[in-house]
Structure 1
Amino acid sequence: MTEDFAADSPDGEITADDSAPGEFRSGFVCFVGRPNTGKSTLTNALVGDKVAITSNRPQTTRHTIRGIVNRPDAQLILVDTPGLHRPRTLLGQRLNDLVRETYADVDIICVCIPADEAIGPGDRRIIEEVNATTPRTRKIGIVTKIDRVGPEKVVTQLMKLSELMGPDAEVIPVSAKSGKQIDVLTDLLVSLSDEGPAFYPDGEITDEPAETMMAEYIREAALEGVHDELPHSIAVVIEEIIPREDSKVVDVHAIIYVERDSQKGIIIGHKGSRLKQVGTAARTQIEKLMGTRIYLDLHVKVAKDWQRDPKQLGRLGF
């Protein structure tokens, strides 16, 4: 643990050693954990902008999303990953494999555990697996969502996580929502990174293709307000991106895929009202991304049981 998190301190902050002056440091950092532990929200908070979609639905993240933190003394490449879970579909298995491939090839692994939930068998299994398969990789245990609980609960969670992570791992509490400890976490990540060059131009915050980001924004909008198993059944493919001649408008044609006809009806809504809401919300995000006006053309199609079909998974980018 970097330092004790004092329950009676006014702000509960901890500090990390600064890197030596004059050194430029860089490193790849991977966030892992079970679904819905705040990994994507934390990635966005550290970058200072939105690079990963967020939702209160588990398994929102389906790709490794890279966010880039630029400082005068360092560059951190943050890799947000899908939540590790017991897979029920081929998609779930492929996402788990993706996470394992990712954390095997980074400089620092951050295991995320929410402050407001008990550490369970799934968390222990992830920590044991990470420690066993990457014994030489630097590790940090992060207690997320500390704004939801009191200081005593945070201290208890930190102690439990520290015990599980092992004596060589740093442990730190953060709140991505309030920003508490975000700067301290950044300093800690920089201090654990090796001296090295910047991998991306200064000011760049992600290397995700615009097409991927557009699809993610549409899926994020489609996830709002849906229930049960529908969130897992939604996939989005960008069909075409066509700038209009003699106009600053860009036409974006996209398809939202679901697995059943009943799900298609839910996404479209009464007389198309739900799909219109999705389009409005997604277009706002896409226009911010592209810096221009967007005409978003959305269609909903059924790809029966695509999460279990290898061929359909391939066509949908998995």
Structure 2
Amino acid sequence: MHKSGFVNILGKPNVGKSTLMNALLGEKLSIITPKAQTTRHRILGIANDDDYQIVFSDTPGIIKPGYKLQEHMMSFVYSALEDADLFILMTEPDNDFTDEKTLTKLKNTSIPVMLLINKIDLTTMEKVIAKSEQWKRDFPSFMVLPVSALNNFNLDKVMDKILEVIPENPPYFPKDELTDRPLRFFVAEIVREKILLNYQKEIPYSVEVSVEEYREEEKLVRIRCVIYVARNSQKGILIGHKGSALKKIGTQARKDIEEFIGKQVFIELHVKVSKNWRDDEMQLGRFGYR
């Protein structure tokens, strides 16, 4: 008997969706930072074993869109609400999930819903118990489970529940595949992660990374990325004094990319201004937001 199924992970920004998927896969596919809206795309991660294949979908955090980029991000979320074998809604003990559109959809769906109360290591057991009881009372059809994705607490129970729910099916993807995304996508995401971690205020939310060249040679991989910013003033901040800030980003990204692809990397980073790209449908389409 072989089981295969699609599991879509939903929740507000910074609730631990990417941490959960990476932990269940045993691989870092989704970038993780303390900043909200780190995940912009819907990313598939595939867990394979002899008798099962679980296709996880990590989605952007649910927000009220403020510009066209965020509208596209939310379209990825709502498409993830349309079809799956299991929905995982991630919440926190100290923050209520209040998106009525999502809650109504999940309450009325015939698809099983697992509600995970994450980050229980950051609060009291009394709060966790109270929040669990509240969710069970308000949504009796949900499977409610307290977890700590960061510390792998109760994730074995999460996997057991997933395997109970997903149907008997042949694999949807080849068994040696970990994701549906190409290497170039993850290279761009690693560079963007370093920007998110090293800059404050509007810079992290105003950049997009495009891999213009990815060339494999015998002993190394040559990569050229362009970092697009929305305004001229952001370009200078990103580059830094005599290029020092950009060089730091490149060094940090190179190390992670080498670990990810298992090969020596030479990376060039360039910065260009693409005015107001976050509200420009043509530019958003070029960056893969369709």
TM-score for both structures, normalised by structure 1: 0.87
Quick check: 1:91–1:313 contact (8 Å CA) kept in 2? yes
Q: 1:258 Cα shift?
A: 1.1
Matches within 5 A, 1:136-151: 136-151=110-125
Quick check: 2:12–2:97 contact (8 Å CA) kept in 1? no
Distance 2:176 2:127 in 1: 38
2:102 to 126, 144, 159: 126
**Residue matched to 1:316:** 287
**Residue matched to 2:6:** 28
For residue 47 of structure 2, give the secondary structure of its aligned residue in structure 1: strand
Matches within 5 A, 1:53-68: 53-68=31-46
For residue 194 of structure 1, give the secondary structure of its aligned residue in structure 2: coil
For residue 271 of structure 2, give the secondary structure of its aligned residue in structure 1: strand
Write out per-residue CA displacement over residues 162-197 of structure 1, whole angstroms, 9 at most, x where no aligned residue.
Answer: 334x22211111111111111110111110111111
**Residue matched to 2:126:** 152
Quick check: 1:236–1:254 contact (8 Å CA) kept in 2? yes
Distance 1:266 1:176 in 2: 34
Write out per-residue CA displacement over residues 51-96 of structure 1, whole angstroms, 9 at most, x where no aligned residue.
Answer: 1111111111111111112233322110000111100001111111
1:300 aligns with 2:271: yes
Matches within 5 A, 1:270-289: 270-289=241-260
Equivalent AA in structure 1 for residue 51 of structure 2: D
Distance 1:168 1:310 in 2: 40
1:186 to 133, 150, 159: 159
1:251 aligns with 2:227: no
**Residue matched to 1:102:** 80
Equivalent AA in structure 1 for residue 95 of structure 2: A
1:171 aligns with 2:144: yes
Equivalent AA in structure 2 for residue 281 of structure 1: Q
Distance 1:236 1:49 in 2: 22
Quick check: 1:38–1:114 contact (8 Å CA) kept in 2? no
TM-score for both structures, normalised by structure 2: 0.95
Quick check: 1:141–1:162 contact (8 Å CA) kept in 2? no
Give unpaired runs (5+ residues) of structure 1: 1-22
Quick check: 1:26–1:74 contact (8 Å CA) kept in 2? yes
Q: 1:203 Cα shift?
A: 4.4
2:18 to 40, 45, 53: 40
Quick check: 2:106–2:113 contact (8 Å CA) kept in 1? no
Quick check: 1:64–1:80 contact (8 Å CA) kept in 2? yes
- Cα distance change, pair 186–120 in 1 and its aligned pair in 2 (3 A): closer
**Residue matched to 2:237:** 266
Quick check: 1:53–1:60 contact (8 Å CA) kept in 2? yes
Write out per-residue CA displacement over residues 223-276 of structure 1, whole angstroms, 9 at most, x where no aligned residue.
Answer: 1132222222111000011223xx411110101111112211222122212111
Equivalent AA in structure 2 for residue 174 of structure 1: V
The count of residues paired between Structure 1 and Structure 2 equals 289
Q: 1:120 Cα shift?
A: 4.6
CA RMSD of aligned residues (A): 1.5
Equivalent AA in structure 2 for residue 309 of structure 1: D
Give unpaired runs (5+ residues) of structure 2: none
Quick check: 1:111–1:127 contact (8 Å CA) kept in 2? no
- State the identity %: 38
